[in-house]
Amino acid sequence: GAVVSQHPSRVICKSGTSVKIECRSLDFQATTMFWYRQFPKKSLMLMATSNEGSKATYEQGVEKDKFLINHASLTLSTLTVTSAHPEDSSFYICSASESGRSYEQYFGPGTRLTVT
């Protein structure tokens, strides 16, 4: 149980384009999903928290207009990196939390984004 998928696993895009990353909870309903980014040899940095059916809550310093998050259903959240630049290249990881599971977060496999 508690399986989270992400798609795509790896994406290369040109500077100025937008990229959408999907995060799905496969065997449970995720009332809350989280989006993180991780630079090489660094820890996870929380970007935003999204609750199904409501606007995402962004962490300080994260541009909400650049990183668009949608959590339209209890099993799907998407992160769109708009007008990507090389400095947006990173490992993006989502996690999902099911209500009543003691706030445990289960991570997706991550998406490695490279902006050229």
Partner 1 sequence: QKEVEQNSGPLSVPEGAIASLNCTYSDRVSQSFFWYRQYSGKSPELIMSIYSNGDKEDGRFTAQLNKASQYVSLLIRDSQPSDSATYLCAVRKAAGNKLTFGGGTRVLVKP
- The nearest distance, CB 56 to partner 1, in angstroms, is 12
Long-range contacts: 66-75, Cβ < 8 Å, 24+? 67/35, 69/35, 71/33, 74/25, 74/29, 74/30, 74/31, 75/24, 75/25, 75/26, 75/29, 75/30
Q: Output the CA torsion sign for 71, 72, 73, 76.
A: negative
The residue (of 83 and 111) whose beta carbon lies closer to partner 1 is 111
- The nearest distance, CB 89 to partner 1, in angstroms, is 15
- The nearest distance, CB 27 to partner 1, in angstroms, is 15
The residue (of 84 and 110) whose beta carbon lies closer to partner 1 is 110
Binding positions for partner 1, rule: CB under 8 A: 32, 34, 42-44, 46, 49, 93, 97, 102-110
